Structure 1
Amino acid sequence: MIIVMKKSADKEQLAAVEAKISELGYQPHVIYGETRNVIGAVGEERGKEKLQILQSMAGVDNVVPILKPYKLASLEVQQEPSTIEIVPGLTIGGKEFIVGAGPCAVETREQICETAVAVKAAGARMLRGGAFKPRTSPYSFQGMEEEGLKLLAEARELTGLPIVTEVVNPRDVELVARYADVMQVGARNTQNFALLKMLGQLDKPILLKRGMATTIQEFLMSAEYILSEGNRRVILCERGIRTFETATRNTLDLSAIPVLKQQTHLPVVIDPSHGTGHSALVPAMCYAAAAAGADGLLVEVHPCPENATSDGPQSLRPDDFAAMMNKLRRFVDVCERTMAG
């Protein structure tokens, strides 16, 4: 249920409604608006009719059922797009189009620092890089783990770029959280509900990637796991789905952008590197993503892709990334958004 408060409702009335929701066995989630506040009451579907009693409480304007199965992610609960603070001075979901860039995997200090300097100069606002790498083959490079996190922290110190890095295992959440500014959930963990619940208890932005065979509704239900634990800072990432097509690594579902914009208030970014698997295809998908209404991009960049330990064929060289960013600004401008650099 959504409890819509009156414009004149005060803090005491809001607190009283929250307390009553808890008393009835539901979790209250307050969404603060410019003109009025609403409270999402989330919990067991059966018996939710008893929440109608809230209609008679002081300060309550209306009590409305939430029809979508994903309650807190739905536009029914929050009609205005969410703007999520990455670090002080940097938000996503607003007017600025945010690009994160960096290598698939952290390999050496020289590699990550060189890449960080290059992508920042080109206008990137975040540094991506994997310290823990979930791989299809157990014999493939699995990442540098904590040593990789330390190198990412050095690159952040050098450039000021906040770090986006993946957490693979629930037991590593605390470790990764000590270093990361944004915690990434990879495609293989989209429905790792134990991990999602733990991340929901953090006060950090979570970048949630869509699974390779995950429907839009399943994707939003995964986001709901994080939101329902109290963490409202969720960013959705479309990174391609598995289809019958073999010309590309995955099929980048750009139609997911307007669909998600019709279903949720959460920011949406696109990963065209995993979505195509070929660096030559990445720029065109970046432009298309901006035109389709995405809030940002996550692009793989490596100073020497032919020697990369992970996903070299889909990684742009720094010069190619800079050229792409220059052209991307024209698309972002047409979409009446801004971009750094």
Structure 2
Amino acid sequence: MATGQKPGALVEALLVLKAHNLNMSKLESRPIPGTPWEEMFYLDLDANLSNESMQKALKELERITRFIKVLGCYPCETVNPTQLSNSQLMIEPTTSRTAELNDGNNDNDSSIQTSHRRWSLTQKPQLTQITHGQLAIGNGQFGAIAQLKLTTDSQDIAQQAKQLKEAGFQAVLLTGIQHVQHVSPLLDEVKRALHQFDLSCVFEIEYETELKQAVGHADILLISGKQMHHKPLLQQIGSLHIPVILERNTMASVDEFLASAETILSCGNQQVILCESGIRTFNDAVKPALDLAALVQIKAMSHLPIIINTSYAYEPLNETGIVIAAKQLRADGVILPFMPEMGNVDEQISLHRQCLSELYHKHRLV
């Protein structure tokens, strides 16, 4: 498991074991590759995984850790072996349970299964908060992320980072990794440039091949809606320890959206942020439409934070009204486009600053 980045986080996790009278026979720490000063903890417990006390402890640990995964259960002199299902191992949700969640023909079964989902408020009544550096999203915290196309000029990005920081953003989402050659050194330079201004670095994963390039450079990953149904990719993301933003596919239902989030959560990664970027409305509209009704529905069902991305559904610099509306509906953050290639950079920065100032001050956001 990986605990939160706060004083006493490991002690808090170990107290869960004490509360359930579980003996810990081993505790080891190992560095997390690509994340200096952070460690993963490996534990051995003298308990059968099928025991009620062990199951209750695992559920509590899921609520307070950033990453947790059961590697297995083996016999010793005092504990009998047990046969484990995939759900007990927390490797992936079983096919039958996922099918039941997506099957709208049996409402009673669906509601019963929902209560056992890791994204559900029934499983975790406390709202999840994801924090990295100055960026905080969820549980009353509202984050602002600028969306920017990746270029080969790191100096240009450094200048833009300064402007975006001054405008009120706490993170930058970079898209278009696949269009850049020799990308790894560039990603290092970009990350350093953003960190210089205390901006978290978010990389979009639009194609599966980009994941390997982005891991180790990104502070946060955003999974494009195009990949929302790509279960093997979601399972890979679930095995990582860094926060992930999961974007809704433009044709996906709310149930399908949450089922994809469940795939990530069930593989260990508990740092999931949902993102509503717009759905297709089956009319002649060229742009997708933000589904604010889905935002309200998800907030009523899930402890996971949810943000909106206006980059695709609205004309640039014309989104203040919808952002304020989304915040009033309890959205936890926003992604706003920044497009220097369209010119009028000063005007874009000025309008973004005005939008965020209105959000943070007039509407008293945290």
What is the Cα deviation at residue 275 of structure 1?
2.3
Q: Does 1:92 align with 2:137?
A: yes
Map of 2:242 onto structure 1: 204
**Aligned equivalents of 2:193, 2:281: Cα separation in 1:** 37
Map of 1:130 onto structure 2: 175
Match of 1:184, SS state, is: strand
**Using a 3 Å threshold, how does the CA distance of structure 1 residues 33 and 202 change in structure 2: closer, same or farther?**
closer
The runs of 5 or more residues in structure 1 that have no matched partner are 1-5, 35-39, 48-64, 134-141, 309-315
Map of 2:122 onto structure 1: 76
Contact 1:126 1:164 in 2 (8 A): yes
Map of 1:218 onto structure 2: 256
Which residue of the other structure, out of 272, 295, 305, is the alignment partner of 1:234? 272
**Using a 3 Å threshold, how does the CA distance of structure 1 residues 214 and 16 change in structure 2: closer, same or farther?**
farther
Match of 1:298, SS state, is: strand
**Aligned equivalents of 2:340, 2:20: Cα separation in 1:** 56
Map of 1:297 onto structure 2: 334
**Aligned equivalents of 1:190, 1:21: Cα separation in 2:** 35
**Aligned equivalents of 1:169, 1:81: Cα separation in 2:** 31
Percent of aligned positions with the same letter in both sequences? Answer: 24
TM-score relative to the length of structure 1: 0.74
Map of 1:249 onto structure 2: 287
Match of 2:256, SS state, is: helix
**Using a 3 Å threshold, how does the CA distance of structure 1 residues 19 and 109 change in structure 2: closer, same or farther?**
same
**Aligned equivalents of 2:334, 2:283: Cα separation in 1:** 23
Contact 2:310 2:336 in 1 (8 A): yes
**Aligned equivalents of 2:20, 2:140: Cα separation in 1:** 31
**Aligned equivalents of 1:299, 1:143: Cα separation in 2:** 23
| Letter aligned with residue 284 of structure 1 | G
Contact 1:101 1:126 in 2 (8 A): yes
Contact 1:111 1:303 in 2 (8 A): no
Match of 2:313, SS state, is: helix
**Aligned equivalents of 1:16, 1:46: Cα separation in 2:** 31
What is the Cα deviation at residue 10 of structure 1?
3.1
**Aligned equivalents of 2:319, 2:285: Cα separation in 1:** 14
Q: Does 1:19 align with 2:49?
A: yes
Match of 1:319, SS state, is: helix
Which residue of the other structure, out of 320, 328, 351, is the alignment partner of 1:283? 320
**Aligned equivalents of 1:175, 1:11: Cα separation in 2:** 43
Residue correspondence of structure 1 range 260-339 to structure 2 within 5 A = 260-276=298-314, 278-306=315-343, 317-330=348-361, 332-333=363-364, 337-338=365-366
What is the Cα deviation at residue 66 of structure 1?
5.0
Deviations 1:19-68 (A, max 9, x none): 2269x99x95444669xxxxx95654879xxxxxxxxxxxxxxxxx9521
Deviations 1:265-312 (A, max 9, x none): 100000012222x1143222211111111010111113342599xxxx
**Aligned equivalents of 2:170, 2:321: Cα separation in 1:** 20
Aligned length: 290
**Using a 3 Å threshold, how does the CA distance of structure 1 residues 131 and 307 change in structure 2: closer, same or farther?**
farther
Match of 1:325, SS state, is: helix
Contact 2:121 2:301 in 1 (8 A): yes
Which residue of the other structure, out of 186, 191, 200, is the alignment partner of 2:224? 186
Contact 1:168 1:185 in 2 (8 A): yes
**Aligned equivalents of 2:176, 2:123: Cα separation in 1:** 36
What is the Cα deviation at residue 168 of structure 1?
3.2
Deviations 1:129-150 (A, max 9, x none): 11425xxxxxxxx345435523
**Aligned equivalents of 1:150, 1:7: Cα separation in 2:** 40
Deviations 1:67-98 (A, max 9, x none): 218711111211111112324x6432133211
- The RMSD of aligned alpha carbons is 3.5
Match of 2:161, SS state, is: helix
Contact 2:161 2:193 in 1 (8 A): yes
Match of 1:255, SS state, is: helix
| Letter aligned with residue 326 of structure 1 | S
What is the Cα deviation at residue 120 of structure 1?
0.7
